[in-house]
Amino acid sequence: MTRTCRLLLFAALAAGLTVMSVVPASASSHREAPLAAADPQIDATDLYAFVSPDAPDTVTLISNWIPFESPAGGPNFYPWAENTKYDVNIDNNGDTKPDITYRWTFTTHYKSKDTFLYNTGPVNSLSDPTLNFTQTYNLERIAGGQSQTLLSNVPSAPSDVGAASMPDYGKLRDQAIAPFNGGKGKSFTGQADDPFFLDLRVFDLLYGANLKEAGADTLDGFNVNVLALQVPKTDLAAGGDATANSIIGVWTTAERPSMTVQSADGTKKLSGADVQVARLGSPLVNEVVVPIGFKDFFNGSQPSGDAAYLPKVVDPELPKVIQTVYKIPAPATPRNDLVLVFLTGVKGLNQPTGVKPSEQLRLNMAIAPATNPKRLGVIDGDKAGYPNGRRLADDIIDIDLRVVEGVLTGAKGTAATLGDGVDANDVPFGTAFPYVALPHSGSTSRAAAAPATTTGTPKGGAGTGAGGTAHGSGTPVLPWAAGLGGVALLAAGVVTRRRTASVRVNRSDA
């Protein structure tokens, strides 16, 4: 099949999906729901969980927030939200309920409010008086109804303003890595390059209307805010036994008070019970699986209600569309292989005993890191990769597309080669915690974004399964998840009310 033919088929597929009213995606879970799109500080973009390659007795959990951060986005740049609970939840017995929660909460500080500047001079240390805007955080571990403070008043790494302001950002990042529990655990919060890679310019009039622009990383040059945690496996396993209870499910959420009262003088007062406003487990689910009328409901929902997915998972629409356009036979239904991947975990790989179906990112901690990681993970024989957890370099679009086309049930030929043409991130990942690449500097235009020279945590390295090139192979088509649209989740949502008097009230009800 020629490149022109592939692109024409890709265009036809995109057009067909548009007719079916599938909501277009921007990235894994970037701006995926109406309220999240309007409130980026509580927009979870991606979640990663993997056995640490350089510390295999530990697990690394990475939760990313605030999509499409342009590096030069001053003067306020990209702070964490105050009065918000950023959580990473662990289900270690398969019952859909969080057994352990790690929670970050942030506080903002100014050295002077009599300036518009984020920093008033070069910053070489997180404690420099020239860093005018700073944020600190507390980290808690919640289990069995008890809360334990792991870290208190720890500095978060700032946004990378630019080379003049922060000549050695890697040094600042290193200062923001905080050990706890006698060095057994580590936490990092701050800015990083967005590690997700894909091409979704199909929604710009089918690749710029000329069908010649496939294979470009949509997120090249953008940053995100990162919550990264590294803890011993025994801290996550049920009963502390990582040998007998090696499988965990992970999802990230955000909660904040249900009512915000904003006065005419710009001050805000938050009150009411906390309400969940964000949720993310496996990639692409709320982005393109959930219809727009239920996306905010999903963000407020719990995994225990996820049985509503089953009808669309066992009989997905996308393989039928691909059969029409590509003449690739759709796998036979019911698609029990997709139930394993997206709701229960794969038996013998990452399915807990007695599991209840729910949307979580499931990781078998007993599987050691791969010596030579493969970007396609499990479907290419690398059991340490997605959908067994998720590493930074796992090629989510290509994997999910091929899975929905039946590679787990033996599909061959074109079905086993479909992809978006982007095989790796725009910059290499690191080889040590927190593994994500340094953020793109505010002094570098996004179109020409490049790492600055630093003495701190290296930008490069093959960590957690990096591989391939930024412009890769594969027949370009839309992500698998577009065919799983139409799910009506029966969950509580968020309602926003606004009053246009001198006081505006925004209320969210669980």
How far apart are alpha carbons 18 and 34 in whole angstroms? 19
CB-CB contact of 178 with 151 (8 Å): yes
Residue 298 reports pLDDT greater than 90? no
pTM for this one?
A: 0.81
For residue range 444-493, list pLDDT tens digits in order: 865 554 444 444 444 333 344 333 333 445 544 433 333 333 322 223 23
How far apart are alpha carbons 198 and 485 in whole angstroms? 20
Q: Which two tokens stand for residue 2?
A: 């020629």
Give the type of residue at 486: G
* Location of structure tokens 């709320």: 286
How far apart are alpha carbons 254 and 33 in whole angstroms? 14
For residue range 81-119, list pLDDT tens digits in order: 999 999 999 999 999 999 999 999 999 999 999 999 999
Residue 497 reports pLDDT greater than 80? no
CB-CB contact of 233 with 57 (8 Å): yes
User: What residues does each domain of the chain span?
Assistant: 3-438+449-507
Q: Which two tokens stand for residue 448?
A: 């020409």
